[in-house]
């Protein structure tokens, strides 16, 4: 569990600090669905430590840096081919009845789109496979967050 904390929390914190020192403004941090809340009872101890480390890294990024950050929390990652179709939300997808997995390729496509969408800075997003194109999903997430900003 110490390794999990060193990599998933400490590594992310160091990466954000290095970005700031290098003058990089835009950062998309890859987290995990569930990292923004306490793991439910019965969660495997190793996975609970992973979620807590990711959550602490997310919290550090949001509160201690002046980067233009976006936090992306995908569901279970698969090696399936990408489809280019996702569900992306500023809320908790599982609470709205949408949970599941997403291919690593689709995660990469969403990260690339977020990097090219400055208005997504400051958003914390959950991601799973879905039926909306990556570009449309990112635009919809930005628009749904606009009134609360």
Identify the pLDDT of residue 65.
86
Could you state, in order of their start, the residue ranges of all structural domains in the chain? 2-148
Asked if the model's pLDDT at residue 149 lies above 70, the reply is no
Task: Quote the CA–CA distance of 29 and 33 in Å, as a whole number.
Answer: 12
Q: Please check the confidence at residue 89 and state whether its pLDDT lies above 60.
A: yes
Residue 97, pLDDT above cutoff 80:
no
| Statement: residue 148 has pLDDT above 90 | no
* Window from 18-27, 85-94, 127-136 with minimum mean pLDDT: 85-94
Give the pLDDT confidence score for residue 146 in this predicted structure: 76
Pick the CATH number of 2-148 from 3.90.25.10, 3.30.2040.10, 3.40.50.720, 3.30.413.10: 3.40.50.720
Q: Are strands 124-129 and 85-89 parallel, antiparallel or unpaired?
A: antiparallel
For the chain, the average pLDDT equals 91
Residues of the chain with pLDDT > 70, as a percent, come to 94
Write down the pLDDT at residue 103. 97
Burial of 83 from C-beta contacts in 10 A (0-12 / 13-18 / 19+)? middle
Q: Considering the entire predicted model, what is its pTM?
A: 0.91
Torsion angle of C-alpha atoms 146, 82, 37, 148, degrees rounded to 10: 0
Query: Is 91 or 48 the better-scoring residue by pLDDT?
Result: 48
Span 120-130, average pLDDT: 96
């Amino acid at each position: 569990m110490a390794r999990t904390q060193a990599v998933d929390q400490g590594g992310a914190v160091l990466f954000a600090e290095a970005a700031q020192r290098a003058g990089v403004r835009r950062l998309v941090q890859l987290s995990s669905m569930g990292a923004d809340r306490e793991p439910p009872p019965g969660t495997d101890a190793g996975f609970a430590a992973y979620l807590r480390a990711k959550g602490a890294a997310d919290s550090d990024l949001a509160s201690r840096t002046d980067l233009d950050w976006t936090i992306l929390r995908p569901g279970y990652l698969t090696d399936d081919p990408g489809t280019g179709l996702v569900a992306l939300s500023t809320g908790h997808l599982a609470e709205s009845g949408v949970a599941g997995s997403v291919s690593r390729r689709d995660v990469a496509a969403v990260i690339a789109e977020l990097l090219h969408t400055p208005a997504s800075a400051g958003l914390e997003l959950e991601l799973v496979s879905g039926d909306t194109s990556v570009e449309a999903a990112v635009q919809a997430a930005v628009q749904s967050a606009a009134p609360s900003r």
